[in-house]
Amino acid sequence: MKLERLVNIDRRIVYLCIAVGTTLPLLLPIGLPVSSTPPVRSLFEKVESLGPEDVVLLSFDYGPTTAPENTPMAEAILRHCFTRGIKVVVIALFPIGGVTMAGEVLANITPEYPQLQEGVDYAFLGYKDGAQAAMKQMGVAFVNVFPVDNGRRPLGEIPLMQRVVNYDDVDLIVTLSTNVIAEWWANLVNAQFGTPVAVGATAVSAPKYYAFLDSGQMIGLLGGLKGASEYERLVIDRYPHFARLYDRPGVYTAIKGMDAQTVDHAIIMAFILFGNTVHFLIRRRDRRAGLRDA
């Protein structure tokens, strides 16, 4: 009888374990080891090879629903670029909240770099409807798509944008994407203009981008929280001063998120194993009881 009770435990016990397993790692980082995979390392090394003369185009192609996965990628890449003095042009092509995400990430990161000047070291051009058309037009000139930046300043008045005319002046495109927009960056922009493209994708869509990596249409791939945490780890290992930043309790990072993911997965798997063990014990007991009765 006792065994039956174990199989049918109150589902709220499972809920409680998941709640704790998600919250605790966010508040008290465990710091599970993170090993990096080649697609993440290749993006990291690409950024490492760039310097203050170079320009990265960072496109926010996701909305609030996938922010837990995409935002840490954006933050780690932006910090990496700013630390190396790389110039960054930020745009948003995702209709539902892309520009909000971009604004929030910039507002979060730029105070860490008081020496940077908006318009000189980075530019925030805002959102444009119709991603595919916008991508093609930016190959001609950014100003065709974004006549003014997000603060309504004409592009001609922005020093950085005076020398960044089109993709020819961009050394790397990074798209943080929740859906098909990443494919367009590879199929339209990389194929036509040759600018290297890297993608930070959600875990759900990451597998289909392996084909793009193999064909060389993408030079790097961060898949979901796992990929984001790998990038964070690489940045921290190369620039140790980030460790302090990433360990602060009030900051959400992919490393913490990945801890929570791993713990939750472990909890679920443990419950499955537990359920099956008890199930097996019940069956053995019943079989023995059956033999006795017979």
SS3 of residue 8 by DSSP? coil
Closest CA to 176 of 284, 283, 15, 61: 61
Note whether 269 binds another protein by CB under 8 A.
yes
Return the residue of 48, 64, 83, 153 that touches another protein, per CB under 8 A. Answer: 64
**Pairing relation of β-strands 122-127 and 172-177?**
unpaired
Note whether 120 binds another protein by CB under 8 A.
no
Q: List CB contacts of 58: < 8 A, sequence separation 6 or more.
A: 74, 77, 78, 81, 88, 89, 90, 91, 174, 176
Tally: H helices and E strands in the chain: 14, 6
Return the residue of 29, 126, 196, 257 that touches another protein, per CB under 8 A. Answer: 257
With 0-12 CB in 10 A as exposed, 13-18 as middle and 19+ as buried, what is 16?
exposed
Q: How many residues does the chain have?
A: 294
Binding mask 2-21 for another protein (x = CB under 8 A): ---------xx-xx-xxx--
Note whether 67 binds another protein by CB under 8 A.
yes
With 0-12 CB in 10 A as exposed, 13-18 as middle and 19+ as buried, what is 260?
buried
Which one of the spans 51-59, 79-87, 179-187, 268-276 is the region binding another protein (CB under 8 A)?
268-276
Which CB atom, from 141 or from 267, has the smaller least distance to another protein? 267
Note whether 225 binds another protein by CB under 8 A.
yes
Return the residue of 110, 203, 245, 247 that touches another protein, per CB under 8 A. Answer: 203
Note whether 103 binds another protein by CB under 8 A.
no
Binding mask 121-150 for another protein (x = CB under 8 A): ------------------------------
Note whether 178 binds another protein by CB under 8 A.
no
Note whether 76 binds another protein by CB under 8 A.
no
Q: What is the largest CA-CA distance in the chain?
A: 93
Q: Which two tokens stand for residue 191?
A: 């194929």
CA dist., res. 113 & res. 156, Å (int): 25
Which CB atom, from 168 or from 283, has the smaller least distance to another protein? 283
DSSP 124: E
Residue 282 CB, nearest approach to another protein (Å): 10
CA dist., res. 146 & res. 254, Å (int): 32
Return the residue of 28, 49, 132, 280 that touches another protein, per CB under 8 A. Answer: 280
Note whether 207 binds another protein by CB under 8 A.
yes
Closest CA to 106 of 150, 153, 45, 65: 150
Note whether 268 binds another protein by CB under 8 A.
yes
Note whether 93 binds another protein by CB under 8 A.
no
Which CB atom, from 110 or from 166, has the smaller least distance to another protein? 110
Return the residue of 126, 224, 236, 242 that touches another protein, per CB under 8 A. Answer: 224
Closest CA to 189 of 148, 165, 218: 218
Note whether 262 binds another protein by CB under 8 A.
yes
Q: Give me the residues that bind another protein (CB under 8 A), please.
A: 11-12, 14-15, 17-19, 22-23, 26-27, 32-35, 64-69, 202-204, 207, 210, 224-226, 250-252, 257-258, 260-262, 264-269, 271-272, 274-276, 279-280
